[in-house]
Amino acid sequence: MSLLLLLRPHLILYLLILTVVNGEILRARFYSETCPEAESIVRREMKKAMIKEARSVASVMRLQFHDCFVNGCDASVLLDDTPHMLGEKLSLSNINSLRSFEVVDEIKEALEEACPATVSCADIVIMASRDAVALTGGPDWEVKLGRRDSLTASQKDSDDIMPSPRANATFLIDLFKRFNLSVKDMVALSGSHSIGKGRCFSIMFRLYNQSGSGKPDPALEPRYRKKLNKLCPLGGDENVTGDLDATPHVFDNQYFKDLVSGRGFLNSDQTLYTSRETRGYVKMFSEDQAEFFRAFEQGMVKMGDLQSGRPGETRLNCRVVNRRPSDLLFDS
């Protein structure tokens, strides 16, 4: 009894700390009590989406990158613009490019049905990205959950942070370092381009005017270049899409094999083999798929840990912030 009394103040202090920083603590099986079906529901909905359109799972996986790099993994990328807020959907890297938001909506609807107001949109992005990889033949891993959704989004921050397809390896190394991601993490995470597509818009400069030279990127393997020239002629429709690697529906190390043979789609892809600092990892992953999978998992978990420390909520609809009592005061 006296021992319990002695311990109590510590217990109370401990609980207080837990409450204050609750939003920051991520852990596996976060919803095991409040929504035990959460992970299986997300997996089921992703499977459905993939059957409807194979590419959609890649598009959803890309959302994790574009969410987590801009003020942490907080589903800010999912917010629609409002008259008072320019969101991230129309930023330079995202406009006419990010897609499959409706898949996230479907997942959210299914989760709201099973466990109302419980699973955050930020966690949905993390679970769904893992599922995209697992469902296309890549590794499967345990994700940490417990994120909160942002109350705002920033087009400017997205413009400032998200890299251009023209980026070179040096630039990408420095960018990822700002997020505590190593060179190896960066090369492995670029392996996400093992699935999905990119637009001609993203490669026109490298096909016809690399670095203002008036010539194509010399790193392009000639037969692959001819193929891309045909897909993306000068003056053609730049919304036409091409595969990011030779097996765009399978998550494997083909992407790295393609880089070794000069068949990378984006400049930011091919530069990883052209550059001395990253070439070793590209070679390694092209020869050892298991090593790529291990490094990719690690990179995704590290990227998933990024948090802004700002206040958050669990959105009911991933596209809009919840109505707050203070909003009602200003309603006309």
Interface positions with ligand NAG (CB under 6 A) = 96, 168, 170-171, 179-180, 201, 209, 212, 214, 237-239, 306
Q: Pick from ligand HEM, ligand NAG, none: which does 65 bind, CB < 5 to 8 A by kind? A: ligand HEM
User: Which one of 38-46, 189-197, 284-292, 323-331 is the stretch in contact with ligand HEM (CB under 6 A)?
Assistant: 189-197
Query: Could you give the dihedral angle defined by the CA atoms of residues 159, 163, 168 and 174, in that order, rounded to the nearest 10 degrees?
Result: 90
Copy the structure tokens of residue 56.
């959609």
Greatest Cα pair distance, the chain, in angstroms, is 83
Comparing CB distances to ligand NAG, the nearer of 175 and 316 is 175
Is the CB of residue 278 less than 8 Å from the CB of residue 173?
Answer: yes
Comparing CB distances to ligand HEM, the nearer of 192 and 253 is 192
Is the CB of residue 256 less than 8 Å from the CB of residue 292?
Answer: yes
- Nearest alpha-carbon partner for 107 in 129, 89, 90: 129
CA distance to 153, 185, 210, per residue, from 310 (Å): 12, 26, 41
Surface-to-core class of residue 86, CB atoms within 10 Å of its CB (0-12 exposed, 13-18 middle, 19+ buried): middle
- d(Cα 99, Cα 63) in Å, to the nearest integer? 9
CA-CA-CA-CA torsion sign (18, 128, 164, 167): positive
**58 interacts with ligand HEM by CB under 6 A:** yes
Q: Pick from ligand NAG, ligand HEM, none: which does 322 bind, CB < 5 to 8 A by kind? A: none
Q: Pick from ligand HEM, ligand NAG, none: which does 239 bind, CB < 5 to 8 A by kind? A: ligand NAG
Copy the structure tokens of residue 277.
């600092």
Active-site residue, 66 included: yes
DSSP secondary structure of 96-131:
TT---HHHHHHHHHHHHHHSTTTS-HHHHHHHHHHH
Cβ of residue 24: shortest distance to ligand HEM, in angstroms?
22
Q: Pick from ligand HEM, ligand NAG, none: which does 170 bind, CB < 5 to 8 A by kind? A: ligand NAG
- d(Cα 102, Cα 94) in Å, to the nearest integer? 15
**307 interacts with ligand HEM by CB under 6 A:** no
**233 interacts with ligand HEM by CB under 6 A:** no
DSSP secondary structure of 175-215:
HHHTTT--HHHHHHHHGGGGS-EEEGGGTHHHHH-GGGSSS
Q: Which residue is nearest to ligand NAG (CB)?
A: 212
Comparing CB distances to ligand NAG, the nearer of 212 and 325 is 212
**165 interacts with ligand HEM by CB under 6 A:** yes
Comparing CB distances to ligand NAG, the nearer of 101 and 249 is 101
Phi, psi angles (nearest 5°) of residue 327: -65, -40
User: Which one of 111-119, 140-148, 185-193, 205-213 is the stretch in contact with ligand HEM (CB under 6 A)?
Assistant: 185-193
- d(Cα 304, Cα 123) in Å, to the nearest integer? 9
Comparing CB distances to ligand NAG, the nearer of 166 and 249 is 166
Q: Which residue is nearest to ligand HEM (CB)?
A: 196
Comparing CB distances to ligand HEM, the nearer of 42 and 244 is 244
| Active-site entry in 66, 84, 193, 249 | 66
By CB under 6 A, the residues from 80 to 109 that bind ligand HEM are 97, 99
Q: What residues are annotated to the active site?
A: 66
Which residues bind to ligand HEM, rule: CB under 6 A? 55, 58-59, 61-62, 64-65, 97, 99, 163, 165, 167, 172, 189-190, 192-193, 195-199, 201-202, 244, 266, 268
